[in-house]
Protein backbone atom coordinates (compact mmCIF):
# COMPACT_ATOMS: atom_id res chain seq x y z
CA UNK A 1 0.00 0.00 0.00
CA UNK A 2 1.31 3.43 -0.94
CA UNK A 3 0.60 6.04 1.73
CA UNK A 4 0.81 9.81 2.06
CA UNK A 5 3.99 10.78 3.92
CA UNK A 6 3.87 14.57 3.59
CA UNK A 7 1.57 17.37 2.43
CA UNK A 8 2.84 20.92 2.08
CA UNK A 9 2.08 24.19 0.32
CA UNK A 10 4.44 25.89 -2.11
CA UNK A 11 3.95 29.63 -2.70
CA UNK A 12 5.30 31.24 -5.85
CA UNK A 13 4.50 34.20 -8.12
CA UNK A 14 6.45 33.82 -11.40
CA UNK A 15 3.98 36.14 -13.16
CA UNK A 16 3.56 38.40 -10.08
CA UNK A 17 0.28 36.61 -9.31
CA UNK A 18 0.14 34.73 -6.00
CA UNK A 19 -0.06 30.98 -6.75
CA UNK A 20 -0.38 28.23 -4.13
CA UNK A 21 0.47 24.67 -5.15
CA UNK A 22 0.24 21.65 -2.86
CA UNK A 23 2.80 18.86 -3.03
CA UNK A 24 1.87 15.41 -1.72
CA UNK A 25 4.76 13.00 -1.11
CA UNK A 26 4.29 9.26 -0.73
CA UNK A 27 5.90 6.16 0.75
CA UNK A 28 6.96 5.15 -2.76
CA UNK A 29 10.36 6.76 -3.48
CA UNK A 30 10.07 9.50 -6.10
CA UNK A 31 6.25 9.28 -6.36
CA UNK A 32 4.75 12.73 -5.67
CA UNK A 33 1.73 14.69 -6.85
CA UNK A 34 0.85 18.36 -7.36
CA UNK A 35 -2.46 20.16 -6.92
CA UNK A 36 -3.66 23.73 -7.40
CA UNK A 37 -4.82 25.55 -4.24
CA UNK A 38 -4.66 29.10 -5.62
CA UNK A 39 -6.98 31.61 -3.97
CA UNK A 40 -5.01 34.67 -4.87
CA UNK A 41 -6.97 37.08 -2.64
CA UNK A 42 -6.46 34.90 0.50
CA UNK A 43 -3.43 32.68 -0.26
CA UNK A 44 -2.00 32.68 3.27
CA UNK A 45 -5.25 31.41 4.76
CA UNK A 46 -5.16 28.46 2.33
CA UNK A 47 -1.54 27.68 3.27
CA UNK A 48 -2.57 27.49 6.95
CA UNK A 49 -5.51 25.19 6.14
CA UNK A 50 -3.24 22.83 4.16
CA UNK A 51 -0.21 22.74 6.44
CA UNK A 52 -1.90 22.90 9.85
CA UNK A 53 -5.11 20.93 9.24
CA UNK A 54 -5.10 18.70 6.13
CA UNK A 55 -1.50 17.48 6.52
CA UNK A 56 -1.90 16.02 10.04
CA UNK A 57 -5.34 14.62 9.17
CA UNK A 58 -4.25 12.84 5.99
CA UNK A 59 -0.66 11.68 6.49
CA UNK A 60 -0.65 7.87 6.55
CA UNK A 61 -3.73 7.52 4.31
CA UNK A 62 -3.74 5.19 1.30
CA UNK A 63 -3.17 7.40 -1.78
CA UNK A 64 -5.55 5.33 -3.89
CA UNK A 65 -8.66 6.34 -1.88
CA UNK A 66 -9.29 9.72 -3.51
CA UNK A 67 -13.06 9.84 -3.00
CA UNK A 68 -12.89 8.76 0.63
CA UNK A 69 -10.07 11.19 1.37
CA UNK A 70 -12.11 13.99 -0.21
CA UNK A 71 -15.24 13.18 1.81
CA UNK A 72 -13.50 12.61 5.12
CA UNK A 73 -11.22 15.65 4.88
CA UNK A 74 -14.18 17.87 3.97
CA UNK A 75 -16.16 16.71 6.98
CA UNK A 76 -13.19 16.95 9.34
CA UNK A 77 -13.85 20.69 9.80
CA UNK A 78 -17.56 20.00 10.55
CA UNK A 79 -18.40 23.38 8.93
CA UNK A 80 -17.45 22.83 5.31
CA UNK A 81 -16.91 24.44 1.95
CA UNK A 82 -16.02 28.05 1.32
CA UNK A 83 -13.11 29.11 -0.88
CA UNK A 84 -10.33 28.73 1.73
CA UNK A 85 -11.14 25.17 2.78
CA UNK A 86 -12.09 24.15 -0.77
CA UNK A 87 -8.79 25.37 -2.20
CA UNK A 88 -6.85 23.51 0.50
CA UNK A 89 -8.81 20.37 -0.30
CA UNK A 90 -8.33 20.91 -4.04
CA UNK A 91 -4.56 21.07 -3.55
CA UNK A 92 -4.59 17.58 -2.03
CA UNK A 93 -7.30 16.20 -4.32
CA UNK A 94 -5.60 17.22 -7.58
CA UNK A 95 -2.27 15.93 -6.24
CA UNK A 96 -3.87 12.52 -5.61
CA UNK A 97 -5.21 12.42 -9.20
CA UNK A 98 -1.67 13.26 -10.36
CA UNK A 99 -0.30 10.39 -8.25
CA UNK A 100 -2.94 7.95 -9.52
CA UNK A 101 -2.05 8.82 -13.12
CA UNK A 102 1.65 8.35 -12.42
CA UNK A 103 0.99 4.98 -10.74
CA UNK A 104 -1.02 3.85 -13.77
CA UNK A 105 1.47 5.39 -16.21
CA UNK A 106 -1.29 7.37 -17.98
CA UNK A 107 -2.47 11.00 -18.12
CA UNK A 108 -5.41 12.05 -15.91
CA UNK A 109 -7.64 12.45 -18.98
CA UNK A 110 -7.16 8.71 -19.62
CA UNK A 111 -8.16 7.94 -16.02
CA UNK A 112 -11.37 9.90 -16.70
CA UNK A 113 -12.33 7.94 -19.81
CA UNK A 114 -10.00 9.18 -22.51
CA UNK A 115 -9.91 12.01 -25.01
CA UNK A 116 -12.92 12.90 -27.11
CA UNK A 117 -11.10 15.76 -28.86
CA UNK A 118 -7.50 16.52 -29.83
CA UNK A 119 -7.12 19.85 -28.06
CA UNK A 120 -9.14 22.48 -26.20
CA UNK A 121 -10.00 25.69 -28.00
CA UNK A 122 -9.31 28.72 -25.81
CA UNK A 123 -10.37 32.32 -25.50
CA UNK A 124 -7.97 35.06 -24.55
CA UNK A 125 -8.46 38.59 -23.26
CA UNK A 126 -8.30 41.92 -25.11
CA UNK A 127 -8.36 44.71 -22.55
CA UNK A 128 -7.85 48.37 -23.39
CA UNK A 129 -8.15 51.81 -21.93
CA UNK A 130 -10.20 52.79 -24.96
CA UNK A 131 -12.42 50.97 -27.44
CA UNK A 132 -9.81 51.32 -30.18
CA UNK A 133 -7.06 49.94 -27.95
CA UNK A 134 -9.22 46.92 -27.07
CA UNK A 135 -10.09 46.21 -30.70
CA UNK A 136 -6.42 46.62 -31.73
CA UNK A 137 -5.48 43.96 -29.18
CA UNK A 138 -8.24 41.67 -30.41
CA UNK A 139 -6.95 42.12 -33.97
CA UNK A 140 -3.50 41.07 -32.78
CA UNK A 141 -4.93 37.95 -31.09
CA UNK A 142 -6.76 36.99 -34.29
CA UNK A 143 -3.53 37.41 -36.27
CA UNK A 144 -1.87 35.09 -33.72
CA UNK A 145 -4.38 32.35 -34.47
CA UNK A 146 -7.00 32.84 -31.73
CA UNK A 147 -10.62 32.41 -32.75
CA UNK A 148 -12.29 33.50 -29.49
CA UNK A 149 -11.54 36.81 -27.76
CA UNK A 150 -13.02 38.44 -24.65
CA UNK A 151 -13.36 42.21 -25.03
CA UNK A 152 -13.22 44.63 -22.08
CA UNK A 153 -12.80 48.39 -22.42
CA UNK A 154 -12.37 51.05 -19.75
CA UNK A 155 -14.91 53.74 -19.09
CA UNK A 156 -12.70 56.86 -19.26
CA UNK A 157 -11.58 57.94 -15.78
CA UNK A 158 -13.11 54.92 -14.06
CA UNK A 159 -11.86 51.66 -12.62
CA UNK A 160 -13.33 49.18 -15.09
CA UNK A 161 -13.09 45.42 -14.68
CA UNK A 162 -10.70 43.61 -16.99
CA UNK A 163 -8.74 46.70 -18.03
CA UNK A 164 -5.56 48.10 -16.60
CA UNK A 165 -7.53 50.91 -15.01
CA UNK A 166 -8.82 48.31 -12.61
CA UNK A 167 -7.13 48.71 -9.27
CA UNK A 168 -6.57 45.09 -8.48
CA UNK A 169 -4.12 44.94 -11.34
CA UNK A 170 -2.20 47.95 -10.07
CA UNK A 171 0.95 47.49 -8.03
CA UNK A 172 0.15 50.37 -5.76
CA UNK A 173 -3.14 51.12 -4.10
CA UNK A 174 -3.89 54.65 -3.02
CA UNK A 175 -7.00 53.99 -0.98
CA UNK A 176 -10.70 54.11 -1.60
CA UNK A 177 -11.11 57.78 -2.46
CA UNK A 178 -8.97 58.10 -5.58
CA UNK A 179 -10.86 58.63 -8.86
CA UNK A 180 -9.60 55.25 -10.14
CA UNK A 181 -11.71 53.44 -7.58
CA UNK A 182 -14.89 54.88 -9.04
CA UNK A 183 -17.11 52.78 -11.26
CA UNK A 184 -20.45 54.02 -12.61
CA UNK A 185 -22.70 51.12 -13.67
CA UNK A 186 -24.79 53.34 -15.99
CA UNK A 187 -21.65 54.74 -17.68
CA UNK A 188 -20.44 51.20 -18.28
CA UNK A 189 -23.65 49.87 -19.82
CA UNK A 190 -23.66 52.84 -22.22
CA UNK A 191 -20.10 52.07 -23.33
CA UNK A 192 -20.23 48.27 -23.71
CA UNK A 193 -22.57 48.12 -26.77
CA UNK A 194 -20.38 50.74 -28.52
CA UNK A 195 -17.35 48.51 -27.93
CA UNK A 196 -19.02 45.60 -29.70
CA UNK A 197 -20.37 47.77 -32.51
CA UNK A 198 -16.84 48.98 -33.29
CA UNK A 199 -15.46 45.45 -32.86
CA UNK A 200 -17.91 43.95 -35.37
CA UNK A 201 -17.17 46.78 -37.84
CA UNK A 202 -13.43 46.26 -37.61
CA UNK A 203 -13.09 42.51 -36.90
CA UNK A 204 -16.02 41.12 -38.88
CA UNK A 205 -18.45 38.43 -37.80
CA UNK A 206 -16.37 35.23 -37.92
CA UNK A 207 -14.40 35.81 -34.74
CA UNK A 208 -16.21 34.76 -31.56
CA UNK A 209 -16.48 37.61 -29.05
CA UNK A 210 -17.12 37.33 -25.32
CA UNK A 211 -17.75 39.79 -22.49
CA UNK A 212 -17.47 39.63 -18.68
CA UNK A 213 -19.66 41.96 -16.60
CA UNK A 214 -18.00 40.64 -13.42
CA UNK A 215 -21.24 41.12 -11.42
CA UNK A 216 -20.65 44.88 -11.24
CA UNK A 217 -24.09 46.16 -12.19
CA UNK A 218 -27.56 45.82 -10.68
CA UNK A 219 -29.86 43.13 -12.11
CA UNK A 220 -32.09 45.50 -14.12
CA UNK A 221 -29.04 46.90 -15.95
CA UNK A 222 -27.65 43.39 -16.50
CA UNK A 223 -30.87 42.40 -18.29
CA UNK A 224 -30.92 45.65 -20.27
CA UNK A 225 -27.30 45.15 -21.35
CA UNK A 226 -28.01 41.54 -22.37
CA UNK A 227 -30.64 42.85 -24.78
CA UNK A 228 -28.42 45.71 -26.01
CA UNK A 229 -25.57 43.27 -26.81
CA UNK A 230 -27.77 40.76 -28.65
CA UNK A 231 -27.22 42.26 -32.15
CA UNK A 232 -23.46 41.58 -31.87
CA UNK A 233 -23.93 37.80 -31.45
CA UNK A 234 -21.66 37.17 -28.48
CA UNK A 235 -20.27 33.68 -27.84
CA UNK A 236 -21.25 34.28 -24.21
CA UNK A 237 -22.18 36.98 -21.72
CA UNK A 238 -20.44 36.26 -18.42
CA UNK A 239 -21.25 36.90 -14.76
CA UNK A 240 -23.95 39.45 -15.49
CA UNK A 241 -25.39 38.72 -12.04
CA UNK A 242 -23.74 37.90 -8.70
CA UNK A 243 -24.34 34.56 -6.94
CA UNK A 244 -26.69 36.35 -4.53
CA UNK A 245 -29.05 37.30 -7.37
CA UNK A 246 -29.25 34.11 -9.38
CA UNK A 247 -33.07 34.21 -9.31
CA UNK A 248 -32.80 37.01 -11.90
CA UNK A 249 -31.38 34.56 -14.44
CA UNK A 250 -34.95 33.36 -15.02
CA UNK A 251 -35.95 36.89 -16.08
CA UNK A 252 -32.83 37.31 -18.20
CA UNK A 253 -33.59 34.04 -19.99
CA UNK A 254 -37.16 35.15 -20.68
CA UNK A 255 -36.11 38.54 -22.01
CA UNK A 256 -32.96 37.79 -24.00
CA UNK A 257 -31.52 35.15 -26.31
CA UNK A 258 -27.90 35.99 -25.38
CA UNK A 259 -25.84 32.89 -24.38
CA UNK A 260 -25.20 33.07 -20.63
CA UNK A 261 -22.08 31.97 -18.72
CA UNK A 262 -21.88 31.85 -14.93
CA UNK A 263 -20.12 30.16 -12.08
CA UNK A 264 -16.61 31.36 -11.20
CA UNK A 265 -17.82 32.63 -7.81
CA UNK A 266 -19.63 29.43 -6.88
CA UNK A 267 -17.97 27.44 -4.11
CA UNK A 268 -19.88 24.18 -4.31
CA UNK A 269 -21.41 21.85 -6.83
CA UNK A 270 -24.80 22.16 -5.14
CA UNK A 271 -24.77 25.95 -5.57
CA UNK A 272 -24.76 25.47 -9.34
CA UNK A 273 -27.77 23.15 -9.40
CA UNK A 274 -30.67 25.67 -9.57
CA UNK A 275 -29.20 27.23 -12.74
CA UNK A 276 -28.49 23.80 -14.25
CA UNK A 277 -31.83 22.19 -13.41
CA UNK A 278 -33.79 25.03 -15.02
CA UNK A 279 -31.30 25.36 -17.88
CA UNK A 280 -30.89 29.07 -17.08
CA UNK A 281 -27.25 29.15 -18.25
CA UNK A 282 -25.46 27.86 -21.34
CA UNK A 283 -21.91 27.61 -19.94
CA UNK A 284 -20.73 26.57 -16.48
CA UNK A 285 -17.68 28.64 -15.44
CA UNK A 286 -16.64 27.15 -12.11
CA UNK A 287 -13.04 27.60 -10.91
CA UNK A 288 -12.04 24.01 -10.16
CA UNK A 289 -10.01 24.66 -7.01
CA UNK A 290 -12.77 26.91 -5.61
CA UNK A 291 -15.25 24.02 -5.49
CA UNK A 292 -12.70 21.56 -4.04
CA UNK A 293 -10.78 20.14 -7.01
CA UNK A 294 -11.13 17.45 -9.63
CA UNK A 295 -13.35 15.12 -7.58
CA UNK A 296 -16.39 17.45 -7.44
CA UNK A 297 -15.61 19.07 -10.81
CA UNK A 298 -15.77 15.85 -12.81
CA UNK A 299 -19.21 15.19 -11.29
CA UNK A 300 -20.32 18.72 -12.19
CA UNK A 301 -19.14 18.27 -15.80
CA UNK A 302 -21.23 15.12 -16.12
CA UNK A 303 -24.31 16.68 -14.50
CA UNK A 304 -24.05 19.58 -16.97
CA UNK A 305 -23.78 17.14 -19.86
CA UNK A 306 -27.12 15.62 -18.85
CA UNK A 307 -28.73 19.08 -18.95
CA UNK A 308 -27.20 20.24 -22.24
CA UNK A 309 -24.97 22.84 -20.56
CA UNK A 310 -21.44 23.29 -21.88
CA UNK A 311 -18.24 23.78 -19.89
CA UNK A 312 -16.07 26.91 -19.82
CA UNK A 313 -13.89 26.42 -16.73
CA UNK A 314 -12.43 29.56 -15.19
CA UNK A 315 -8.84 29.91 -16.43
CA UNK A 316 -7.37 33.34 -15.59
CA UNK A 317 -3.80 34.15 -14.55
CA UNK A 318 -4.62 33.28 -10.94
CA UNK A 319 -4.82 29.61 -11.80
CA UNK A 320 -1.53 27.69 -11.61
CA UNK A 321 -0.35 25.53 -14.53
CA UNK A 322 -1.54 22.55 -12.44
CA UNK A 323 -5.01 24.09 -12.23
CA UNK A 324 -4.94 24.71 -15.99
CA UNK A 325 -3.93 21.06 -16.52
CA UNK A 326 -6.95 19.95 -14.48
CA UNK A 327 -9.20 22.20 -16.60
CA UNK A 328 -7.67 20.70 -19.73
CA UNK A 329 -8.15 17.11 -18.52
CA UNK A 330 -11.89 17.76 -18.18
CA UNK A 331 -11.96 19.63 -21.52
CA UNK A 332 -10.49 16.57 -23.20
CA UNK A 333 -12.99 14.06 -21.82
CA UNK A 334 -16.23 16.08 -21.78
CA UNK A 335 -18.55 15.74 -24.79
CA UNK A 336 -20.16 18.98 -23.55
CA UNK A 337 -16.92 20.99 -23.64
CA UNK A 338 -17.62 24.56 -24.77
CA UNK A 339 -14.50 26.72 -24.53
CA UNK A 340 -11.50 27.13 -22.21
CA UNK A 341 -10.42 30.51 -20.80
CA UNK A 342 -6.65 30.73 -20.92
CA UNK A 343 -3.92 33.18 -19.99
CA UNK A 344 -0.68 32.49 -21.88
CA UNK A 345 2.31 31.74 -19.60
CA UNK A 346 5.31 34.02 -19.26
CA UNK A 347 8.81 32.53 -19.46
CA UNK A 348 9.27 32.46 -15.67
CA UNK A 349 6.11 30.36 -15.26
CA UNK A 350 7.27 27.94 -17.96
CA UNK A 351 10.61 27.62 -16.13
CA UNK A 352 9.09 27.10 -12.64
CA UNK A 353 6.58 24.52 -13.94
CA UNK A 354 8.41 22.27 -16.44
CA UNK A 355 5.93 20.47 -18.72
CA UNK A 356 3.26 23.21 -19.03
CA UNK A 357 0.65 22.41 -21.64
CA UNK A 358 1.41 23.71 -25.10
CA UNK A 359 -0.51 26.60 -26.64
CA UNK A 360 -0.76 26.68 -30.44
CA UNK A 361 -3.33 27.38 -33.17
CA UNK A 362 -5.70 28.94 -30.62
CA UNK A 363 -5.84 25.73 -28.57
CA UNK A 364 -4.10 24.16 -25.59
CA UNK A 365 -2.81 20.67 -26.15
CA UNK A 366 -2.42 17.89 -23.57
CA UNK A 367 1.14 16.73 -22.97
CA UNK A 368 0.06 13.05 -22.69
CA UNK A 369 2.52 12.35 -19.87
CA UNK A 370 1.39 10.42 -16.74
CA UNK A 371 -0.66 12.39 -14.21
CA UNK A 372 -0.68 16.10 -15.05
CA UNK A 373 2.72 15.68 -16.70
CA UNK A 374 3.87 18.89 -15.01
CA UNK A 375 6.44 19.28 -12.22
CA UNK A 376 7.60 22.21 -10.10
CA UNK A 377 11.18 23.41 -9.76
CA UNK A 378 11.00 24.26 -6.06
CA UNK A 379 14.36 26.04 -5.92
CA UNK A 380 13.34 28.29 -8.81
CA UNK A 381 9.83 28.79 -7.35
CA UNK A 382 11.49 30.35 -4.28
CA UNK A 383 13.09 32.97 -6.50
CA UNK A 384 9.59 34.34 -7.21
CA UNK A 385 8.15 35.12 -3.77
CA UNK A 386 4.76 36.78 -3.40
CA UNK A 387 5.11 40.48 -4.35
CA UNK A 388 4.61 43.10 -1.64
CA UNK A 389 1.01 44.20 -1.41
CA UNK A 390 -0.71 46.35 1.23
CA UNK A 391 -3.50 43.80 1.73
CA UNK A 392 -1.54 40.58 0.97
CA UNK A 393 -3.36 40.16 -2.32
CA UNK A 394 -6.88 41.25 -1.33
CA UNK A 395 -8.78 43.54 -3.67
CA UNK A 396 -9.34 47.17 -2.73
CA UNK A 397 -12.84 48.62 -2.57
CA UNK A 398 -14.47 49.95 -5.73
CA UNK A 399 -17.17 52.56 -5.27
CA UNK A 400 -20.01 54.19 -7.15
CA UNK A 401 -19.88 57.98 -7.55
CA UNK A 402 -21.87 58.39 -4.36
CA UNK A 403 -19.42 56.26 -2.40
CA UNK A 404 -21.58 53.14 -2.32
CA UNK A 405 -19.73 49.86 -2.67
CA UNK A 406 -19.59 48.09 -6.04
CA UNK A 407 -18.95 44.36 -6.40
CA UNK A 408 -15.39 43.67 -7.61
Query: Is 214 among the catalytic positions?
Result: yes
Please give the size of the binding site for Mg ion, defined by CB under 5 A: 1
| CB of 110 or CB of 215, closer to Mg ion | 215
Helix (H, G, I), strand (E, B), or coil: what is residue 310?
strand
Cβ 383 to Mg ion shortest distance, Å: 30
Cβ 190 to Mg ion shortest distance, Å: 21
Read off φ and ψ for residue 119, nearest 5 degrees: -155, 170
Cβ 161 to Mg ion shortest distance, Å: 8
Which of 161, 237, 248, 283 is the catalytic position? 161
Q: What is the Cα Rg of the chain in Å?
A: 21
How would DSSP label each residue in 170-191?
-S----TTSGGGB--HHHHHHH
Query: Is-contact 199 246, C-beta < 8 A?
Result: no
Check binding of 215 to Mg ion (CB under 5 A): no
Query: Is-contact 135 126, C-beta < 8 A?
Result: yes
Nearest Cα neighbor of 213 from 269, 272, 266, 151 is 151
Q: Which residue is nearest to Mg ion (CB)?
A: 212
How would DSSP label each residue in 232-260?
G--SEEE--S-GGGTTHHHHHHHH----E
| CB of 51 or CB of 208, closer to Mg ion | 208
Query: Is 283 among the catalytic positions?
Result: no
Give the range of 49-57, 209-217, 247-255, 272-280 binding Mg ion by CB under 5 A.
209-217
Give the range of 42-50, 119-127, 139-147, 206-214 binding Mg ion by CB under 5 A.
206-214
Strand (E) positions, 112-192?
120-128, 148-153
| CB of 102 or CB of 211, closer to Mg ion | 211
Cβ 212 to Mg ion shortest distance, Å: 4
- The residues that bridge with 262 in the sheet, in sequence order, are 284
Give the range of 148-156, 204-212, 347-355, 378-386 binding Mg ion by CB under 5 A.
204-212
| CB of 123 or CB of 384, closer to Mg ion | 123
How would DSSP label each residue in 368-380?
--SBT-----HHH
Cβ 54 to Mg ion shortest distance, Å: 28
| CB of 115 or CB of 168, closer to Mg ion | 168
Say how far apart CA 230 and CA 63 lie, in whole Å: 49
Binding mask 74-113 for Mg ion (x = CB under 5 A): ----------------------------------------
| CB of 316 or CB of 366, closer to Mg ion | 316
Read off φ and ψ for residue 228, nearest 5 degrees: -65, -30
Check binding of 212 to Mg ion (CB under 5 A): yes
Give the range of 43-51, 77-85, 207-215, 275-283 binding Mg ion by CB under 5 A.
207-215
Say how far apart CA 64 and CA 322 lie, in whole Å: 20
Show Cβ contacts of residue 376 under 8 Å, excluding neighbours closer than 6 positions.
10, 12, 21, 23, 34, 352, 353
Query: Is-contact 77 23, C-beta < 8 A?
Result: no
Cβ 103 to Mg ion shortest distance, Å: 35
Cα angle, residue 108 at apex, residues 105 and 112 outer, rounded to 5°: 115
| CB of 211 or CB of 298, closer to Mg ion | 211
Cβ 294 to Mg ion shortest distance, Å: 21
Check binding of 166 to Mg ion (CB under 5 A): no
Cβ 150 to Mg ion shortest distance, Å: 8
Which of 211, 214, 314, 324 is the catalytic position? 214
Buried b (16+ CB within 10 A) or exposed e, 344-360: ebeebbebbbebbbebe
| CB of 70 or CB of 123, closer to Mg ion | 123
Nearest Cα neighbor of 147 from 318, 340, 356, 329 is 340
Question: What does the binding site for Mg ion look like in residue numbers (CB under 5 A)?
Answer: 212
Active site residues: 161, 214
Amino acid sequence: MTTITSIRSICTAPADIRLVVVKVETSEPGLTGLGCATFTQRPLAVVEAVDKYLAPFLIGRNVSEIEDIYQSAQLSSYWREGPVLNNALSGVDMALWDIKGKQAGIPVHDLLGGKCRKAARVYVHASGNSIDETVDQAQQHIENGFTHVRLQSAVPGQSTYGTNTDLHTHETIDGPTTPQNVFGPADYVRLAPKLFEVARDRLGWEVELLHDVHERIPPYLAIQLARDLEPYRLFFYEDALPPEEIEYFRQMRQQSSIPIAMGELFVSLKQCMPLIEERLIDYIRVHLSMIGGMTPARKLATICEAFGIRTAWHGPGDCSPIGHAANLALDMVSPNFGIQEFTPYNQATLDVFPGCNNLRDGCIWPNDRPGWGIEIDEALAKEFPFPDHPYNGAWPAIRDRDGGIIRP
